[in-house]
């Protein structure tokens, strides 16, 4: 399948049309969606209209954007005007947002063609898409395995060659972990780089939107298109999108990189081996790699599972049956709200709402939420100390390759642990990228993670590009 | 009202005021009262999934202006989420300032010389408005509940006083003075009947100089009358309770205006846990010095200063005139009065027309030019308009604006002033020759007789002074 870069180039030159590319995408969806459960909704009509607009503009000789005619899959927690948006939850079934997320507007402005909405763990809470109310998504590389999560549908759309690129969101690893498990590049941008307006919040202080792509260059193109200040998001960085595409081939000569012990400890041997080979490749390319221990990373998981549920308990309060989505009728409003939320939310969402409510409650706040915030501050300080010594960090993205369905569903802690390497970056609000490097058990892909300070995306993309070449994808 | 047996009431007030911004606190929707339900709404103020708040700078400026007028410290502040479920709150949490409010400390001096300390004045968003149909009229047991989200996300400032108020009259004076400040700063129109000002009162009682007693909070007092009655009722209830050997429970109470009593809404044990935490969708608020300076530079004079300025221009401070001064200052109508005094209108007339006619139609004052107000009063003073006519002209100016001479002409008042009044008087002299003779011979009481006759003929549209002048001219 063509990369986004190729599609856009050929659309601009007239070698192909946006409609032809869309048709190819739609037929790939038709072929495998039933088996893999990737798309919850395909917006064929809207996509055709978007593709025609691009083709008309090309025909008139007008400039089209860097993603001209590129089909894109949207995680179903992004609002798209008039298109059903469910967060894979019964509670939002049938709801159509009356507005576009800023990211959707920017993709459209860049010429991309949104094809439809992809499956996720309900409200992005999970690491396998097994928590979707509409059934799990299967890993296209091996349908008995999970695609990862929560952006599992978006990862599968690209891995199954349905669309060249997809958009996900990453609260504790939800882009990078499925990217690793599906053999893709996935970026968790610095907090504030990409507007969250129109992303249905899970944990507002941790959520970031980012790309899932086949190549590092495509990730750079997409990120450059969707990044930059948005007046609709108060937490958006007050600066335009950084130049990324121009830096992809910058290499790592003279860069200092630290292999972080806590980002490989506990990983499967095949994963550790891949990270070691990635380190060797970076050295080969001219970087200096040292080893570093950042013990604070071990505290990340506990802090995350207090902060994220606490924010979620408040963010998800609005799903009460009063204004939109599911309403279970009862005689009075309190009973209606209770019945609606009981019927509408799945088990994992309820678990986290209860965890978060508890963590914020009077008498427990200081011991739980307050303590987690202190850990978060320590995490930020630990990252800052590391970045005074080195330019970026390297480690594994996930402890293992894609796992079997049902292998972790009975034990929430085991499932939570699959995000242990990705969570620290969300807590610090900094940047990280997962890039495929080597394969492991059952020939499944392994993801290597590069982490950098805030606004270091250009550096991370350049590092990932070095690994991409070393892994045999020049 | 003093309490019996040496009891003293201790009152602190929380005054919520809607800010008069053009748009809501976190979105671009118009902040307007009285539109069709759910027409001034968008994804943000409806709390639709994915929407995010962005702070309205004007709301911050008005909050700062209130703080400056109350001698508060403008402090770096943050926003929190106050979490509870209620259908008129679209996100099921309210964005409010919590432990770090924008305005810290301060005080308000009242006309009687007393000082009430201010603990804080913080920003928060308003909720929508529920209407419960059928059943009890409250949410539980209603047949149907309707929600209007036009008010959702309208900026509010909550001003919290210290427990310094010792009588319901002082509470009233505090609210009136505060309202004057809110109007002066342009923060609020101060209209309690439209819900622009909502008050919660914390009331406790104690023996003089004893430690504070347990307090009860009375919610949603929406008029000065309710405020005074509720405080007096509650203090008396607590005294009765204690003297009968009971103890006051800390609780939230509801004031029923019709019954004239407070009743338990929820006890301390039933109080909700709002699970406050920092609003992650907003950044911290720390207005820099130059922004603060700009706001301070634009602050108009406050009521206390304006009150003494206006009083200084009144030669005869009789009670009715002083009462009118209070009304005029409270409602911010003194610029009209000063303009009239500058043009030579007598203070009593200027104050009376401002405190009655203008105060009766505050909306209309935005349409009324000060010059038109002065011209009308001068016409009345010169006898070209009767008092009734002047009031009618003012009503018309308040309703539609315009030039008072045109309005008077249109209403046919002008003709009375010269020719018409002259011929009316001439006709009456012929009709009542005996009365005219007695008047001409010096019986001044007959002037009243002729004024009455003129009024009858002109249906009250003549000016008494003008009639007397006409009679004198013909003597
Ligand atoms: Zn709005």
Sorted by sequence, the CB contacts under 8 Å of residue B351 that are 6+ apart come out as B314, B321, B324, B325, B328, B337
DSSP A248: G
pLDDT of residue B191: 83
Instruction: Give A185-231 pLDDT, tens digit per residue.
Output: 999 999 999 999 999 999 999 999 999 999 999 999 999 999 999 99
- Which among A322, A366, A369, A371 is the top mutation candidate for probing chain B, defined by the most B β-carbons within 10 Å of its own β-carbon? A322
Give the span between the Cα atoms of B358 and B209, in whole angstroms: 45
Q: Are B308 and B159 members of one domain? A: no
- Residue B413 falls inside a structural domain: no
CB contact under 8 A, A205 and B280: yes
Determine whether the interchain pair B51/A357 forms a contact, defined as Cβ–Cβ distance below 8 Å: no
Residue B212 and residue B102 share a domain: yes
Is the domain of B363 the same as that of B318?
yes
Task: Specify the pLDDT at position B414.
Answer: 61
Domain final residue pick, B251, B266, B297: B297
What residue segments make up the domains of chain A, in order of their start?
4-244
Residue of B50, B86, B92, B131 to mutate when probing chain A, most A C-beta within 10 A: B50
Domain tally, chain B: 3
- pLDDT grade, residue B416 (50/70/90)? low
Binary contact (A234, B91; C-beta < 8 A):
no
| Ligand 1: centre distance to CA A157 (Å) | 35
Distance from CA of B265 to the nearest CA of A (A): 17
Residue B78 belongs to a domain: yes
* Chain A residues touching B55 at Cβ < 8 A: 234
- B249 plus B314 within the same structural domain: no
> Could you tell me if B48 lies within 8 Å of chain A, comparing CB atoms?
yes
Write the CATH number for B457: 1.10.10
Q: For the purposes of burial, counting CB atoms within 10 Å of the CB of B259, is it exposed (0-12), middle (13-18) or buried (19 or more)? A: exposed
- Are B340 and B396 within one domain? yes
The whole-model pTM stands at: 0.89
Residues B256 and B325 in one domain: no
Could you confirm whether domain A4-244 is CATH 3.60.20.10? no
Chain A contact for B140, CB < 8 A?
yes
Q: Which domain covers residue B309, as residue numbers?
A: 303-405
Phi, psi of B95 (to 5 degrees): -85, 125
- Show residues of chain B in contact with A95, CB under 8 Å: 49
Query: Of B372, B405, B438, which residue constitutes the final position of a domain?
Result: B405
Check A127, A132, A150, A428 and give the catalytic one.
A150
Portion of chain A with pLDDT greater than 70, in percent: 100
* Average pLDDT of every residue of chain B: 92
Size of interface A-B (CB pairs under 8 A): 106
Q: Is residue B2 part of a domain?
A: no
Answer yes or no: do B398 and B264 share one domain.
Answer: no
Domain co-membership, B293 together with B315: no
Share of chain B above pLDDT 70, in %: 97
- Which residue's structure tokens are 């700009």? B294
Q: How far apart are CA A449 and CA A461, in angstroms?
A: 11
Say whether pLDDT at A257 is over 80.
yes
Do residues B115 and B194 share a domain?
A: yes
Is residue B14 domain-shared with residue B105, that is, in the same domain? yes
Determine which of A93, A360, A373, A426 to mutate to test the interface with B (most B C-beta atoms within 10 Å): A360
Residue B34 CA from chain centroid, whole number: 18
B258 and B342 part of one domain = no
Q: Choose the closest CB to B49 out of A79, A231, A235.
A: A79
Catalytic annotation present for A174 = yes
Q: How confident is the model at residue B418, as a pLDDT?
A: 60
Distance from CA of B228 to the nearest CA of A (A): 34
Whether residue B2 is predicted with pLDDT greater than 70 in this model: the reply is no
CA A323 to ligand 1 centroid distance, Å:
15
Is A188 a known active-site residue? Answer: no
List, in sequence order, every residue forming a beta bridge with A71; answer none if it has no partner. A113
Whether residue B353 has pLDDT greater than 70: yes
B174-212 pLDDT, tens digit each: 999 999 999 999 999 888 877 789 999 999 999 988 999
- Annotated active-site residue in A132, A174, A434, A456: A174
Interface check for B286 against chain A (CB to CB < 8 A): the answer is no
The answer to whether B54 contacts A233, with C-beta atoms less than 8 Å apart, is yes
* pLDDT tens-digit map of A90-149: 999 899 999 999 999 999 999 999 999 999 999 999 999 999 999 999 999 999 999 999
Together in a domain, B428 and B450: yes
Tell me whether residue A456 is one of the annotated catalytic residues: no
pLDDT at position B457 over 90:
no
With respect to residue B410, please indicate whether it lies within any of the assigned structural domains.
no
Its ipTM equals: 0.96
Taking an 8 Å cut-off on Cβ atoms, the answer to whether A231 and B50 are in contact is: no
Q: Which residues contact A4 (CB under 8 A, 6 or more apart)?
A: A67, A70, A164, A165, A213, A218, A221, A222
Predicted local confidence at residue B118, as pLDDT: 98
């Amino acid at each position: 399948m063509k990369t986004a870069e190729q599609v856009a180039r050929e659309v601009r030159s007239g070698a192909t049309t946006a409609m032809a590319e869309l048709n190819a995408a739609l037929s790939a969806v038709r072929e495998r969606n039933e088996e893999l459960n990737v798309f919850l909704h395909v917006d064929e009509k809207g996509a055709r209209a978007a593709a025609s607009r691009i083709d008309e503009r090309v025909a008139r000789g007008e400039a089209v954007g860097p993603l001209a005619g590129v089909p894109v899959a949207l995680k179903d927690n992004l609002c798209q005007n008039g298109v059903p948006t469910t967060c894979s939850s019964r509670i939002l079934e049938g709801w159509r947002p009356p507005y576009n997320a800023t990211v959707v507007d920017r993709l459209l402005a860049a010429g991309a063609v949104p094809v439809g909405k992809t499956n996720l763990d309900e409200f992005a809470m999970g690491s396998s898409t097994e928590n979707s109310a509409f059934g799990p998504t299967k890993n296209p590389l091996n349908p008995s395995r999970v695609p990862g999560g929560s952006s599992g549908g978006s990862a599968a759309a690209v891995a199954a060659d349905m669309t060249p690129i997809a958009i996900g969101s990453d609260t504790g690893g939800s882009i990078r972990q499925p990217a690793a498990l599906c053999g893709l590049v996935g970026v968790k941008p610095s907090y504030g780089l990409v507007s969250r307006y129109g992303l249905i919040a899970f944990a507002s202080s941790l959520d970031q939107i980012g790309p899932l792509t086949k190549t590092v260059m495509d990730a750079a193109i997409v990120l450059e298109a969707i990044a930059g200040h948005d007046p609709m998001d108060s937490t958006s960085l007050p600066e335009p999108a950084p130049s990324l595409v121009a830096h992809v081939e910058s290499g790592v000569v003279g860069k200092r990189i630290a292999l972080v012990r806590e980002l490989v400890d506990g990983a499967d041997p095949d994963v550790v081996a891949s990270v070691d080979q990635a380190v060797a490749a970076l050295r080969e390319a001219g970087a200096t790699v040292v080893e570093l221990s950042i013990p604070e990373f071990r505290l990340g998981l506990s802090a995350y599972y207090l902060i994220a549920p606490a924010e979620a308990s408040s963010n998800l309060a609005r799903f009460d049956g009063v204004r939109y989505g599911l309403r279970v009728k009862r005689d009075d409003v309190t009973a209606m709200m209770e019945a609606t939320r009981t019927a509408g939310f799945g088990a994992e969402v309820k678990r986290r709402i209860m965890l978060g409510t508890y963590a914020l409650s009077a008498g427990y706040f200081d011991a739980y939420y307050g303590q987690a915030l202190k850990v978060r501050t320590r995490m930020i300080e630990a990252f800052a100390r590391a970045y005074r010594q080195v330019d970026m960090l390297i480690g594994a993205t996930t402890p293992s390759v894609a796992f079997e369905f049902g292998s972790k569903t009975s034990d929430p802690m085991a499932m939570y642990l699959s995000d242990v390497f990705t969570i620290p970056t969300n807590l610090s609000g900094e940047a990280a990228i997962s890039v495929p490097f080597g394969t492991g058990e059952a020939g499944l892909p392994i993801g290597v993670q590069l982490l950098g300070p805030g606004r270091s995306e250009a550096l991370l993309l350049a590092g990932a590009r070095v690994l991409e070449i070393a892994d045999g994808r020049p | 009202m003093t309490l019996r047996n040496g009891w003293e009431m201790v009152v602190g007030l929380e005054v919520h005021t809607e800010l008069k911004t053009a748009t809501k606190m976190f979105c671009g929707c118009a902040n307007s009262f009285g539109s069709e339900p759910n027409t001034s709404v968008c994804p943000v103020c409806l709390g639709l999934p994915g929407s995010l708040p962005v702070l309205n700078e004007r709301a911050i400026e008005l909050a700062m202006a209130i703080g400056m007028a109350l001698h508060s410290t403008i402090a770096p502040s943050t926003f929190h989420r106050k979490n509870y479920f209620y259908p008129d709150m679209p996100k099921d949490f309210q964005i409010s300032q919590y432990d770090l409010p924008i305005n810290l400390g301060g005080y308000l001096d009242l006309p009687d010389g007393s000082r009430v300390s201010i603990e804080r004045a913080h920003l928060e968003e308003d909720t929508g408005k529920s209407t419960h149909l059928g059943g009890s009229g409250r949410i539980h047991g209603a047949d149907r509940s309707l929600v209007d989200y036009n008010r959702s996300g309208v900026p509010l400032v909550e001003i919290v006083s210290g427990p310094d108020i010792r009588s319901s009259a002082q509470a009233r004076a505090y609210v009136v003075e505060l309202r004057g400040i809110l109007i002066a700063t342009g923060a609020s129109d101060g209209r309690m009947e439209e819900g622009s000002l909502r008050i919660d009162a914390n009331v406790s009682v104690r023996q003089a100089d004893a430690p504070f007693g347990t307090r009860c909070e009375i919610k949603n007092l929406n008029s000065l009358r309710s405020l005074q009655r509720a405080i007096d009722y509650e203090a008396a209830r607590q005294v009765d309770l204690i003297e009968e050997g009971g103890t006051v429970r800390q609780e939230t109470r509801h004031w029923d205006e019709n019954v004239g009593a407070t009743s338990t809404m929820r006890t301390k044990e039933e109080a909700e846990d709002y699970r406050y935490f920092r609003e992650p969708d907003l950044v911290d608020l720390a207005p820099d010095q130059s922004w603060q300076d700009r706001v301070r530079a634009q602050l108009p004079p406050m009521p206390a200063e304006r009150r003494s300025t206006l009083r200084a221009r009144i030669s005869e401070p009789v009670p009715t005139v002083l009462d009118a001064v209070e009304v005029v200052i409270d409602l911010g109508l003194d610029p009209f009065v000063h303009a009239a005094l500058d043009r030579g209108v007598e203070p009593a007339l200027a104050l009376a027309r401002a405190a009655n006619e203008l105060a009766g139609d505050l909306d209309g004052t935005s349409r009324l030019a000060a010059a038109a107000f002065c011209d009308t009063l001068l016409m009345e003073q010169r006898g070209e308009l009767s008092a009734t006519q002047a009031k009618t002209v003012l009503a018309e100016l308040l309703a539609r604006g315009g030039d008072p001479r045109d309005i008077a002409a249109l209403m046919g008042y002008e003709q009375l002033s010269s020719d018409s009044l002259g011929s009316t008087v001439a006709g009456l002299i012929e009709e009542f020759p005996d009365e005219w003779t007695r008047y001409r011979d010096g019986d001044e009481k007959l002037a009243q007789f002729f004024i009455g006759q003129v009024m009858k003929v002109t249906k009250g549209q003549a000016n008494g002074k003008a009639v007397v002048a006409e009679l004198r001219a013909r003597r």
